[in-house]
Amino acid sequence: MFRLRPEARAAVRVTVDGRDVSVPEGASAAAAVLLAGADAIRQTPVTGAPRLPYCMMGVCFDCLAEIDGVPNRQACMVPVREGMVIACQRGARVIDPEAA
């Protein structure tokens, strides 16, 4: 379903939910999720429904993910970099009141 465009670009290695994936330099973290063939990148807080990137331009928020340990990142707006770790975000974000 999701295919790379034919032009050649350098590749970077990222990890998506424990799977190593080679992604073209300059691609988004959301594209890496799709290339990895992930079933979901987040689960909704109320029903736990699975979601994947949808609009790929920062409008819909279906691509919220934990990127390098930071939750609630819009994966479609974050360019990949070598060694990036992208993890499925499950449920609502936990807010630490002591961190404020």
Question: Domain locations in the chain?
Answer: 11-90
Residue 2: band (very low, low, confident or very high) from pLDDT cuts 50, 70, 90: low
* Spacing of C-alpha 18 from chain mean position: 12
Amino acid sitting at position 48: G
For 11-90, CATH gives: 3.10.20.440
| pTM, 2 dp | 0.81
| Residue 42 Cα to chain centre, angstroms | 9
- What is the per-residue pLDDT across 20-78, written as a single tens digit (0 to 9) for each? 999 999 999 999 999 999 999 998 888 889 999 999 999 988 999 999 999 889 999 99
Cα angle 66, 64, 80; round to 5: 65
